[in-house]
Structure 1
Amino acid sequence: MYVYILINPAHTVLYIGIANDLQRRLYEHSNGLGDAGKFTGLYQTNLLIYFELCSAPIQAIAREKQLKGWTRAKKEALIAVFNPTWTTIDPATWSDDL
């Protein structure tokens, strides 16, 4: 399971979610499919800038809740450690391990 953070092009909106298939979920966000497109479609929040792998769904859910409870500054600090330039992560460059 993955916990991930998306941003909009202006970097003004953060979206935190979980998925068992991150590439599929990003596709859903980008194409406004199902529940994935409600918030992210409204705010054009579909650029992946952070993700982490959790070994079990319960851990992913707990981590998602934890991150959602953080301040914007704390979320930005986490992203800066993982992705200092806030460069969009391209799923096409991932290995099959992700």
Structure 2
Amino acid sequence: MQSPFEWKLCAFGNEIGRVLGKHGHGKRPRRSNVLSLGDSAHEREAVLRTTAGLRDCRAKSLKFLERPSVDQLCRQHQLMARCMPEIVHHDGNLDICISLR
């Protein structure tokens, strides 16, 4: 049985391979973004590890609060919506953990 991290790592590897093409042989833009939006530390680590060896690939992880209140969930989504253009156009990897006061 796989751990949650192993399952996420396998899932990211399969999807990234399917979309970007195995070993870079697929037709894709010169530079690719892989975005991970979620509340799991396993998901964050899996996307960063899966993309680490990929050429011309930018990993962008946004880790939300685990078990947020409804108000916190709304605030996280509002923040993400405001920042998404900057996140997508950032020319590099991002590893952002959202915290709210």
TM-score, normalising length: structure 2: 0.28
Higher relative contact order (CA 8 A, sep 6+): 1
TM-score by length of 1: 0.29
